Chains A and B, each alone.
Chain A
Amino acid sequence: MKFSLSWLKRHLETQASLETIVETMVRVGLEVEEVENPKERLKAFTVGHVLHAEKHPDADKLKVCRVATIDGEKQIVCGAPNARAGIKVAYAPVGAYVPGIDVTLSKAKIRGVESHGMMCSVRELEMGDDHDGILEVDEAAAVGTPIADIMGLDDPVIDFEVTPNRPDTNGVIGVARDLAATGLGVLTAKPTPKIETGFACPQKIALNFPDEAKNACTVFAGRVVRGVKNGPSPSWLQEALRAVGLRPINALVDITNFLSIDQARPLHVYDVAKLSGTVEARLGKEGESFEALDGKTYKVDDTMCVIADERRVLGLGGVMGGTFSGCTDETTDVFIESAWFDPTRTAKTGRKTGIISDARYRFERGVDPQSCVPGLEQATDLILRFCGGEASEVFVAGEAQAGTKLIEFPPSEVKRLTGMAVSEPEMQRILEALGFIVEKGGVWSVLVPSFRPDIEGKADLVEEIARIVGFDGLPEQSLPRLHVVERPKYSKIQDRVRLARRALASRGFLETVLWSFCSEKQAKLFGGGAAALKIANPIAADLSDMRPTALPGLLEALKRNSDRGRKDLNLFEVGPAYHDTTPTGQQSLAVCVRMSNPPRHWQGSEKPADVFTAKADAMAVLDALGAPVENLQATPTAPDYYHPGRSGQLGLGPKNILARFGELHPFVASQLDLEGTIIMAEIFLEVIPQGKAKATKTKPALEKSDYQAVARDFAFVVPEDMPADKLIKAIKGADKKMIAAVNLFDVYRGKGLEAHEKSLAIEVIFQPKDHTLSDKEIEALAEKVIASAGKTGARLRG
């Protein structure tokens, strides 16, 4: 919302500087976004005096002028027909920026004659459309006087954000009221003008709504003014409108625009000659349409409130009028509409049609329902003054809602909610200055004015008082400490997220943060794509589904980086994966991916990452999170976006899967345009069993033996398809007391073995606890190992 300082001063008597006014607006919650002073913009332009003008030697239409300026006498070449000796002009020096032609002047030679500066037209100064010649100012103006001063343009324009709760500040009067309440000035109250009426309103008005849509338009006031003479509005009004960025059109239109900005009261004026029969507010009908003032034709429907006569739809109530019934310079009799339209319906109609107008903006935020008749009177007053004519009586169809309400307000609420001590007289003064009517007592009765629909209860009154006093007055207090030393705050799962991130970063992964959405194709490739997880209004077609895992985003990121030449990269994200829309339908996953092309090195390149790197990544995260890593079972059961032979899951039993790892399926990789082997792991943070809470932090005593441990190597031949895990488990079980460790250190296939066999070399460590093992005992233990291994079908390699 824009207004000029002089416009504000129509309602506010104040000596305050612009700076103070702006600061105060911010302080009371009217957030000023920009202050622009045309004087600043036009600062370079000053009055010049053309002393001499003669025809350019080489151009018929150009003149060479000698001009007295603030910078001394200058030679300026000018093409304007009115350039002549004796006139006072708007001089722009070399170096000045001329807004209307978007040019910064430099010294020029025009057809061989030097020109030092420019004499500007109205349009070049962006003060209007006139471009017939250069601007001529009052002959009495002294050379060097700023043009802005001569033109009365020293009127700063303030632009501020109207928050949805303050429809009253859509009018300059509302801003003035807030400022007056702070004591910055005095609100100049203007009584509603008394209009002499000579005849009953000849135009019939009706509200015609079904019961369920009665609130679409609750009141429609109108009157006719006969014998008007439309034409340009007075220059003060044109200037006021131009200052806030509106183009003056004619007196009748300018008056409605003026009251919309001045009073937040939108109005509409019809040419009576174009109306047929009763004008009514009603719901639109399928098939109807009208041409709006923006020149476009809109279809209406039965959700919209239209204004119509017996022949046609004239406009959309509260949104935009139509061209057919609009006023022209020939209009003699006018009908003025002042109504109240429902914010919700107005907003919906606005959205549906896409029409953006000052009326829609105001009605959808809420116009003062009590302003119908006063607004009509103000408009009539201005029409009579500018256009003459004779006014009819006012006809009101329907009834305006009161819009007021009574709030029981204990003044102690201010202290309770803000901590500020404000005296009762000051509270009363503030409320009354803002238009509330206060009846004091133990609990005050406060009547809310109809232009403040945002005020609902006590807390709102507290805000009114606090914002006028100023939030600078809030006491600065700390919350009382709950404990001398605070307690831990992270939940188990929050801490797992933290640890997983730092564990992966420690292993050389870069953390990413990626969209929660992916494409439908990606979702389906990775086990997602459920209908309930589709976004109805995605920001882009390829961000249409909630992701089932972070893999799509990570793999895309690998691709983008690899396209830039980064082909050896480890990325991860710890974030949500979505399964359904219930509050528990989202899981925390740590997902890491490797594109592995180890750099060359003089000691030999490292081996590229493989499925076992992924297994190690998964186990490292699980270990960091305190999962019982030694009890994990690896099973070849990863989902089908993994390589079927080089992937697996880690779990504590088939129902409790903690992680997946392996190579990306080559088909999926090709679908994602990825080259080479991708190694990845997904770790489910929520399902890791939570260790029992212990009473103390004491660690169990260290058990260590003083007796020599003995290591023995074995080689077992097993069938190719037997998991090594099975053999290791069997060996561990051979003597649980004595066997401290079982390390598989070689897998051999080939010479000496059948084709379907492999040999597993295993070191077993025997650790006695109470004596040194004798050779005989060691032999006996070895026999036990061989026997136990034998039960799995393994035989000692000869």
Chain B
Amino acid sequence: MTDLDRLEKNLLQQIEAADSEEALESVRVQALGKKGQVSVQMKSLGKMSPEERKQKGPLLNGLKARIGEAIGARKEQLERAALEARLANERADITLPIRPLPKGKIHPITQVAEEVAVIFADMGFEIREGPDMEDDFHNFTALNFPPDHPARELHDTFFLERQEGADPMVLRTHTSPVQIRTMMSEKPPLRVIIPGRTFRCDSDQTHTPMFHQVEGLVIDKQTHMGHLKGTLNAFIEAFFEVDGVETRLRPHFFPFTEPSAEMDVRYSRVGNELRIGQGDSWMEILGCGMVHPNVLKNCGLDPDEYQGFAFGMGIDRLAMLKYGIPDLRDMFAADARWLEHYGFDALDQPNLATGLSR
């Protein structure tokens, strides 16, 4: 074993034995510092003969490199150990509760109105809206309710205080006046739905003085009642997200449609749960029909040239049926417990690609 070998062995042992960064530093100074053992040897190279230098030079350089590496490796070890030791003291009790964030919710009426809009948008329906306060012409007369007709009485209308020199105003009893506004301001072909607030002077377990309807209107030169049936059936299946929903159209009376119909949907009750689509009972779900010739005429359209259908349904009722909400009145009570339970996450934006609802 040469002196160099001995020196290397000795230094490596010291490096290995260094148990702190300070100790390791002093080994480094002792080996590689200005007056360190390896540095002294390196300096001696200058005094050597070229042959001797040629032989000793690589040996010394190798020694210096290995010692440097060993110090580096040990240093990393010591640093890692120090980090581990520090982290061992940095323990959080991760079972502690987080800070509760208030969770916002979307009201079921909003959610369902958006679901309805998404379905009809896919079938090419535009969305129109109109004012909640209407005159008699738009709410009744133009819709073929003659003055004093008993059908007006069925509507339990809210009237606004009559102002001198102004038209008498009502709170609209249905969204149908927007049909009139649409037909009077736009040219057919028309394909629109009309969601909105509606008002009737009625309040009991199943009626609230304010509720929501969505109206549909198609006017062109060829749409007939078969299209109405197809459109509504497609809507019902898409909305309730079940296949094979059985529906029936039944003749009925509305002043603004002729022929008029109501649509029933099959359902069954399993415990507290309502299953829409199949079963042994029928439930009325909407009113519809072909737009009455008088209504077309009132909007300046020739009923021998233009034709089409209209329908109307309760948004609140659709929400109750789909999501099993038991009482209409709760919709408007703003009870935080109810809103949190029946409400929807802001991220649940209805769309057809993901499905209307989770």
Please name 5 pairs of A and B residues whose Cβ atoms are closer than 8 Å in the assembled complex, sorted by A.
Answer: A347-B153, A418-B259, A463-B259, A471-B261, A511-B105
**Quick check: is A459 within 8 A (CB to CB) of the other chain?**
yes
Contact for A535 among B127, B171, B225, CB less than 8 A: B171
Inter-subunit contact B290/A531 (CB<8 Å) = no
Contact with A along B154-189 (1 / 0, CB 8 A): 100011111100100101000000000100000000
Complex Cα distance A164/B199, Å? 21
Q: How far is B158's CA from A521's CA once the two chains are assembled, in angstroms? A: 20
Contact of A506 among B104, B248, B261, B262 (CB under 8 A): B104
A455 to chain B, nearest CB (A): 10
**What's the nearest-Cβ distance from chain A to residue B171, in Å?**
7
State which residues 233-270 of B face A: CB under 8 Å: 233-234, 248-253, 258-262
- Partner pick for A31 among B250, B260, B343, CB 8 A cutoff: B250
Determine the residue in chain B with the shortest Cβ distance to A532: B163
Question: Which B residues touch A516, using CB under 8 A?
Answer: 132, 171, 197, 199, 210
Q: Which residues of A are at the interface with B, using a C-beta cutoff of 8 A?
A: 26-29, 31, 163-166, 343-344, 347-348, 364-365, 415-420, 456-460, 462-463, 466-467, 471-472, 474-479, 481-483, 486, 488-491, 494, 498, 501-517, 531-540, 543, 546, 553-554, 557, 560-561, 564, 566, 568-571, 575-576, 578, 581-586, 599, 601-603, 606
A539 to B130, CA, bound (A): 23
CB <8 Å contact, A463 and B258 = yes
> CA separation between A365 and B100, bound complex, in Å?
62
The residues of B with any CB-CB pair to A shorter than 8 Å are 96-97, 99-107, 109-110, 114, 117, 121-127, 129-133, 148-151, 153-154, 158-163, 166, 169, 171, 181, 191, 197, 199, 201-203, 209-210, 218, 223-231, 233-234, 248-253, 258-262, 290, 292-294, 303, 307, 331-337, 339-340, 343, 345-346, 349
Measured between beta carbons, the chain B residues less than 8 angstroms from A481 are: 123-124
A511 & B349 in contact (Cβ 8 Å cutoff): no
Having A31-B252, A416-B224, A515-B209, one finds 17 other A-B pairs with CB under 8 Å, namely A27-B250, A29-B250, A347-B148, A348-B148, A459-B258, A474-B225, A477-B226, A478-B231, A505-B346, A509-B104, A511-B110, A535-B159, A537-B159, A560-B335, A568-B102, A576-B132, A602-B96
> Which residues from B are CB-within-8-Å of A582?
131
Q: A164-B150, A416-B307 are in contact. Are A476 and B230 (CB under 8 A)?
A: yes
A233 vs B233: C-alpha distance when bound (angstroms): 53
Distance A488 CA – B125 CA, assembled complex (angstroms): 10
Q: Is the CB of B150 within 8 A of A347?
A: yes
Task: In the A-B complex, list the 8 residue pairs whose CB atoms are closest, starting with the nearest.
Answer: A29-B251, A419-B226, A508-B102, A463-B259, A505-B104, A557-B334, A163-B253, A505-B346
Quick one: closest B residue to A489, CB to CB? B121
Which residues of chain B come closer than 8 Å to A514, judged between CB atoms? 332, 334
Instruction: Please determine whether A418 and B226 come into contact, CB atoms closer than 8 angstroms.
Output: yes
Q: Which residue of A lies closest to B212 (CB)?
A: A513
User: Which of B131, B231, B292, B343 is packed against the most chain A CB atoms within 10 Å?
Assistant: B131
- Among candidates A477, A483, A505, A517, residue contacting B229 with C-beta atoms closer than 8 Å: A477
Chain B interface helix/strand/loop/mixed: mixed
Contacts of A479 in B (CB 8 A): 123-124, 191, 218, 223, 227, 230-231
Taking a contact as CB atoms under 8 Å apart, the answer to whether B248 and A471 are in contact is yes
B209 touches A26 (CB 8 A): no
A163, B252: Cβ atoms under 8 Å?
A: yes
Chain A hits for B169, CB < 8 A: 532, 581
| CB atoms of B253 and A165 under 8 A apart | yes
* Cα A365 to Cα B148 with chains together (Å): 11
Specify which of B99, B101, B231 lies most central, judged by the most chain A CB atoms within 10 Å of its CB.
Answer: B99
In the complex, chain A residues whose CB is within 8 Å of the CB of B159 = 535-537
Cα–Cα distance between A99 and B163 once the two chains are bound (Å): 55
Contacting pair A459 B230 (CB below 8 A): no
- Contact A504 to B161, CB < 8 A, known contacts A471-B261, A474-B229: no
Q: How far is the CA of A539 from the CA of B336 in the complex (A)?
A: 25
Contacts of A476 in B (CB 8 A): 226, 229-230, 233
Contact B127 A491 (CB under 8 A): yes
- Residue contact A419 to B227, C-beta cutoff 8 Å: yes
Contact of B105 among A505, A534, A554, A586 (CB under 8 A): A505
Residue among A165, A460, A505, A543 facing the most chain B CB atoms (10 A cut-off): A505
Task: Give the CA-CA distance A535 to B119 in the complex, in Å.
Answer: 36
Q: Are B149 and A164 within 8 A (Cβ)?
A: yes
Residues of B within 8 A of A512 (CB): 107, 334, 339
Asked if B233 contacts A494 (CB within 8 A), the reply is: no
Report the separation of the CA atoms of residues A31 and B133 in the bound assembly, to the nearest whole angstrom.
Answer: 33
Contacts of A584 in B (CB 8 A): 131
- Bound-state Cα–Cα, A478 to B227, Å: 5
Given A494-B127, A516-B199, does the pair A510, B226 have CB atoms closer than 8 Å? no
Check A536–B162 contact: CB distance below 8 A.
yes
B100 nearest in chain A by CB position: A599
Given A505-B346, A515-B332, verify A477-B227 contact (CB < 8 Å).
yes
| A553 pairs with B334, CB closer than 8 A | yes
Give Cα A603 to B92, complex, Å.
13
Contact of A539 among B109, B201, B293 (CB under 8 A): B201
**B contact residues around A606 at 8 Å (CB):** 99
In the complex, the answer to whether B225 meets A419 with C-beta atoms within 8 Å is: yes
Chain B residues within 8 Å of A601, by CB: 97, 99-100
Given A466-B259, A537-B159, A586-B133: A502 touches B106 (CB 8 Å cut-off):
yes
Which residues from A are CB-within-8-Å of B262? 31
- Cross-chain contact B104 with A508 (CB below 8 angstroms): yes
Q: Which residues of B contact A416 (CB under 8 A)?
A: 224, 307
Distance of A8 from chain B, by nearest CB (Å): 19
CB-based contact A501/B106 at 8 Å: yes
State whether A506 and B346 are in contact (beta carbons under 8 Å apart), knowing that A417-B290, A539-B203 are contacts in the complex: yes
For residue A512, which residue of chain B has the nearest CB? Answer: B334
Measured between alpha carbons, how far is A569 from B102 in the docked complex, in Å?
8
A570 in complex: contacting residue of B104, B109, B248, CB < 8 Å: B104
Q: Are B230 and A478 in contact (CB under 8 A)?
A: yes
* Chain B residues near A502 (CB-CB < 8 A): 106, 346, 349
| Given known A458-B293, A479-B218, A489-B117, contact A513–B161 (CB-CB < 8 A) | no
B217 to chain A, nearest CB (A): 12
Interface centre among B105, B107, B258 (most CB of A within 10 A): B258
Known: A512-B334, A560-B334. Is A581-B133 also a contact (CB below 8 A)? yes
CA distance A314 to B263 in the complex (A): 47
Closest to B260 in A: A463
Say yes or no: A561 contacts B133, CB within 8 Å: no
When C-beta atoms are compared, the residue in chain B nearest to A162 turns out to be B253
- Select which of A164, A456, A483, A535 is within 8 A of B160 by beta carbon: A535
Known: A459-B258, A599-B100. A477 touches B230 (CB 8 A): yes
Give chain A nearest CB distance to B41 CB in angstroms: 46
Closest residue of chain A to B335 (Cβ to Cβ) is A561
* Docked pose: A415 CA to B130 CA in angstroms: 33
Can you name the residue of chain A whose Cβ is closest to the Cβ of B250?
A: A26
Partner of B331, one of A483, A494, A506, A513: A513
Task: Find out whether the CB atom of B131 lies under 8 angstroms from the CB atom of A583.
Answer: yes
Indicate the member of A28, A501, A554, A602 with the most B CB atoms within 10 Å: A501
Contacts of B293 in A (CB 8 A): 457-459
Contacting A474 at CB < 8 Å: which of B154, B249, B252?
Answer: B249
B227 lies within 8 A of A535 (CB): no
Residues of B within 8 A of A546 (CB): 133, 160
With the chains together, A348 CA to B152 CA distance in Å?
A: 13
Among B132, B153, B161, B233, point to the contact of A531 (Cβ < 8 A). B161
Kindly identify which residue among A418, A420, A459, A576 contacts B292, using a CB–CB cutoff of 8 Å: A459
Q: Shortest beta-carbon distance, A336 to chain B, in Å?
A: 27
Alpha-carbon distance A490/B120, docked complex (angstroms): 12
Within the complex, what minimum Cβ distance (angstroms) separates A718 from chain B?
36
Q: Inside 8 A of B191's CB, which chain A residues have their CB? A: 479, 482
Q: What B residues does A348 contact at CB under 8 A?
A: 148
Report the Cα distance A20→B193, complex, angstroms.
37
When chains A and B are docked, how far (Å) is the Cα of A299 from the Cα of B197?
40
CB distance from A625 to the nearest CB of B (A): 15
